[in-house]
Structure formats: structure tokens, C-alpha cells
Amino acid sequence: MTTPARTTALAPDDVRRLRATAQFVREQETSVLLSRVLPGLDGPELRAVADRCRFAHAALLVFPADHPGLRAALAACGLPDGAAAQPSVVVRDRLAARHALDPADLDVRILRPAAHGPSGEPRAVEVFALAVPPGSPLSALAAHERAHDHEAHLAFDVDRPDPLLLRGLRASLARHGAVADGGGYNPHENGTVFYFTAPTETKTDYRRMELYASGDHRDVLAEHLEEQRSAEQDTGPESRAAEGLLRLLTGAWTTQALAACVDLRLPEALDPHAPLGVERLAHEVGARPDALETLLRYLAMVGVVTEDRDGFRLTAIGLLLREDAPGSMRPLALMYGGPFYQSFAHLAHAVRTGEPGFEHLYGENHFDHFAHDPGLAATFDRSMAAGSRMFDPLPAHPVLTAAAAAPTSRTVIDVAGGTGELLGRVLAAHPSLHGVLLERPHVVAAARERLTATGVGDRCAYRVGDFADVPSAGDVYLLSRVLHDWDDARCRDILRHLAAAMPSHADLLVVERLLPTDATPSLATAWDLHMLCNTGGRERRADEYAQLFDAAGLELVGQRPLPLDAHVLHVRKR
């Protein structure tokens, strides 16, 4: 058995750093980590980046007394590694440049002991090692590097890298404040490394990140390094801060560019595989070619389209804006670039008075306003369905699977269930269940059509009404994205109606986004601002929902995470 004494090959501070790094690697989810490293990276762009970049390792530089003793020291830290150490050209050259030394005098090696992520996915702790024997002239270098952790970074492996993808990823990172910070090609591994400095707003202790692309991509690397040289010549800290602020201030332009994109039907006119020239595309959508090209270049910058010498084509993000795409987000672009965009101009009024900006602008709440405009109401209902990815795991919830397995038929009642997106998924997954959908008259008509088209309409009944009309014969009740529309008093009223209707054996599943208990970036934080300005409601923490349930005679008995930063709360009668 390896004894702790073997860690004497490493200084105690290096041992502590190794163990902390290993724990970090084992705990992180890729998409959550990306959103923490690059605050502001969210929604479809976060999903697109996370689809092609996998969190692979966290790295640190240590200084063993000798290389042979390092492997035993790693094993004593729970990081056994049987692979041969490889030379580190990139880190060696960075150290030499930083300390004005000859690279030939620095024997830097890499070991990558394995670790595993929360779902068992293979990862590593990347250990750079520079041997510094006692009394070595390199001792001052080691002390400086331990104090500043220049080589500590987070690494993401790029899936199936090619020049177009690498340029797109670099552009996405730059849009969210990442700055080119070196890199290199390692011939020993045939891999290309792109380093970035994380933005000052990053929510981790790491200030550097790496994209690792297998293969030789020195053409893209040259662009990366030239961008770094230009930035170092042209910008200081104040200039970088001003640039970051400008990116924030111009965020509204992206909203309107996306709204214009769907209004012009560009996603339908473009193809994800075959590029289309501007002149032909302008003819297709009825636009001026020069003006359309300006819009397309902006859309390329934000990752909706990509450009090559033959024209423009759609990216994976752009495909989500097609009307016929599964889970199309076109209605969201129309809502966020339309009435909700207009109401956000009155956010300061909402903050000063507590009156939603929407009501200040339109003179009525959004539900009443949409009821007067059937076209707008239909777009709003479709926009709610556009967030349906959060429902993907919900039919497998133990409450629903238990109801489906019951010896007699069970009924699921979806309260204010919109056009039936969630209820339809539940009924499709569990043929033994029956459903009831409670909604406003015009929504019920759309839900009936939708659920019939999906083949579950024969197992669903429809009730027109409000929260006071909740049916009392249910076994499972669904309340999805409803409570965040209202203030606490109205929420307690809604929940009391539900508690009065629910039989004693019934379960209630509430779907909402939960505010984090710390400063972790979350879609719920953004939606909290949206609710303030547009509905008068709010997002809440789990304990705040528990208090609302308690006031209505209900009890929160469990919660599970869902996609898009949502959660399902399991509630029962006390």
C-alpha cells in the first residue's frame, strides 16, 4: 500500500492544490461550468458550445523534487497514472518566456491521471511537472508560479474539430469576454491548444481556459496568436473594461437581429449544408442585398449563420429558429423582439414602482392584452411550448410512473396547461393514463387540436375555467410555469384552490426555475428580471416555494432538476 510519506516528493502546498483540483474535476457538469466561466453564455448558444466542447480536465503546475518520485506522490493523492510522461512544449516555452530562461534548461513534463465526472464520464487532472531539487536555481521560479498559478486552467476538448468550427468557437468565447492568451501545437501528441484568459466576471477560481483540438490546426492557431498580439498592443485594463461594457450595452441589438431574422424567414430560406449567396437570398426573402448582408454578418458573429466563399448557411442555433423545427424557438424570438422588448424599455419604471413595465406601456396585464389579439395570443402560447425541452425527463418522474402502473386508470390534471405540450408528453409516455386540461377558452381550442394531432386526444378531457375551477377527481396534478407569473398573495390563492380540489392521495408536480442560493449564473436570474418587467411575478428559491405551499396546507416533499435550469417540485397535502 502506498504511504502518505511518498508525497514528500511534492511540497505540501502542491499536494493541497492537487487534491483540490481532483475534487473540482469530479464535480463539474460541462454546461454549468461553461456558464460559470463565461457569465452571459446561455440559452441556445450555451447549448451549441456545450454540444461540441466537453470538459476534459483541470490543469496545474507542480514542482517535484525529482520526476521519478512524482508518480508515487500522485497515487498518494488518489491520482494513480500508469502512462508515460510526455514533454510539454507549450508550458515549457511559456515558462521560458515569462522568466527569461532558455527553454532547453526547463524539463517540463505532462501526466494525466484519470478522474471521472459526476456521471462517470472520463476526465483527467493534467499535471505539468518541472523538477526543482532542493537548492536548485529554479526555486525562485517555483515560488513565483505557485503564488500566481499562471498555468492553472480548465480545458475543454473539441469534438470533431475543423477550421470552421474552431473559428466559430473562438468567436463565441470572445463575445463573452474570453481573450486570446497563447497556445501552441504539440507534435508529441499531434494536438493544437488554444489558451484564453477568462473574463473578469468569471465565477470560478480559474482565470484561464483551454480549447484542445486533436490534429494540426496551426493555421487557426496563427490567427489566434495574432489576435493576442494585437490586443496586447492596443488595449490596457481600462480599454478591456470599456469593451466589455460595450458588449453588454449592445445586447439589445442581438435580440432585434434575431427577431428580424425570423420575421424575414431567413431560417426557412437558408440551408444548413448548401451555402446561399446574398443576391439570391435577398430575392427569396424580399430584402435589399446590401442591408441583408449587414444583418447576415452580425448573425454570423453571434453564431446563427456561418459564412464561406459561396455564401451563408444555417448553424445548429439557426435551425432552432425555423418554424418547422422540433422545439422551434421562433415564437420566442417574436415575443422577445416584439411586445416584451417594448415593455423592457420601461424596466426602470418597474423597479421604481413595482408596476410591470408591460402594464405601464399597454394599460393592462399581458394575459388580458393577449386575449384581445388572437394572433399575438397564439404566438405567446407557441412561445411557451418552445421551452418544452425542460419537459423531456418529466414523464419518467416516479409519481407519474407509479400512477401509470396502478391497477386502475389514473387521471392527470394539467392546471393552466397551455396548448397541452406537457400533458401530451405524459399521455404519450403512459398509455394507461387519462388527462384533463384546464385553460382559457381560446387556449383549450388550440390544445384540443394539438393533442388530437399527436394521437392522445381520445384520452383527454377539456375544462374551460380559471384556478377556482380545478377539477377534484385527479390523481396527479401538474402546475407548470404558472406560479412565477404571480405575486405571493395570488400564488397562495392559486395553491389553496388546488389543495381544496386535490384528493388526499393525490400528488402535485410543480415545474419552475429555481433561483440559486448564491451568485451562480442561472437562467432563473434572467427570468426573474423578465417577470418583474412583464408579469408582476417573480422566480423564487426552493425554500420560498416551500413557504407558499405550507401556507396553502401543502408540503414540499422532493425536487428534481430538469433541463434549461428548471426543476420539478413534488408536493402533497399535509
Over its length of 574 residues, how does the chain's per-residue pLDDT go in tens digits? 333 333 457 888 888 889 989 999 999 999 999 999 998 888 888 888 998 999 999 999 999 988 888 888 888 888 887 677 888 888 898 899 888 888 888 989 999 999 998 888 999 999 999 988 888 889 888 888 888 888 899 999 999 999 889 998 998 999 898 999 888 888 888 999 999 999 888 888 888 999 999 999 998 999 999 888 877 666 555 666 777 788 788 889 999 999 999 999 999 999 888 889 999 999 999 999 999 999 999 898 888 888 878 899 888 788 889 998 887 889 999 999 999 999 999 999 999 999 999 999 999 888 888 878 888 877 887 777 666 778 889 999 999 999 999 999 999 999 999 889 999 999 999 999 999 999 988 889 889 998 999 999 999 999 999 999 999 989 999 999 999 999 999 999 999 999 999 999 999 999 999 998 877 778 888 899 999 999 889 999 999 999 999 999 999 999 998 888 889 999 999 9
**Residue 74: closest CA among 2, 180, 170, 161:** 2
**Residue 424: closest CA among 447, 398, 441, 405:** 447
- What cell was used for 167? 473559428
- What cell was used for 321? 429558429
Distances (CA, A) of 67 to 526, 551, 557: 49, 64, 53
Distances (CA, A) of 184 to 170, 194, 218, 219: 15, 7, 8, 11
Residues of the chain with CATH 3.10.180.10: 4-245
pLDDT, residue 376, reads 85
Q: Is 20 left (phi over 0), alpha (psi -120 to 50) or beta?
A: alpha
- What cell was used for 107? 524539463
Kindly report whether the global pTM for this prediction surpasses the value 0.85.
no
What DSSP letter does each residue of 183-251 carry, written as one string?
Answer: EEEETTTTEEEEEEEPPTT-SSS--EEEEEEES--HHHHHHHHHHHHHHHHH--HHHHHHHHHHHHHTH
CATH class of the domain at 389-573: alpha beta
Query: 3-state SS string over 72-109?
Result: HHHHHCCCCCCCCCEECHHHHHHHHHHHCCCHHHCCEE
CATH of domain 4-245: 3.10.180.10
CB 571 within 8 Å of CB 508? yes
CA distance 75 to 29: 25
**Residue 286: closest CA among 312, 307, 268:** 268
- B/e letters for 293-308, b = 16+ CB within 10 Å, e = fewer, are bebbebbbbbbbbbbe
- B/e letters for 376-394, b = 16+ CB within 10 Å, e = fewer, are bbbbbbbbbbbbbebbeeb
pLDDT, residue 2, reads 38
- What cell was used for 454? 399527436
Q: Tell me whether residue 116 is one of the annotated catalytic residues.
A: no
pLDDT, residue 213, reads 95
CA distance 570 to 555: 9
CA distance 265 to 127: 50
CA distance 308 to 162: 14
Amino acid identity of residue 353, one-letter, is: T
The H helix count followed by the E strand count for the chain is 26, 18
Residues of the chain with CATH 3.40.50.150: 389-573
CA distance 241 to 198: 13
CB 417 within 8 Å of CB 464? no
- What cell was used for 428? 404519450
> Among 369, 397, 434, 484, which one carries the catalytic annotation?
484
Residues of the chain with CATH 1.10.10.10: 250-325
What fold, for 250-325? Arc Repressor Mutant, subunit A (1.10.10)
CB 327 within 8 Å of CB 384? no
- B/e letters for 64-81, b = 16+ CB within 10 Å, e = fewer, are bbeeebbbbbbbbbebeb
Q: Within 10 Å of residue 480's Cβ, how many Cβ atoms?
A: 25
**Residue 335: closest CA among 369, 383, 278, 398:** 383
H helices present in 264-344, as ranges: 266-269, 278-285, 289-301, 316-319, 330-336, 339-344
DSSP designation for 511: E
Query: Which residues in 520-573 belong to E strands, given as ranges?
Result: 554-562, 566-573
3-state secondary structure at position 64? coil
By the 10 Å C-beta count (0-12 exposed, 13-18 middle, 19+ buried), 12 is classed as exposed
Q: Within 10 Å of residue 285's Cβ, how many Cβ atoms?
A: 15
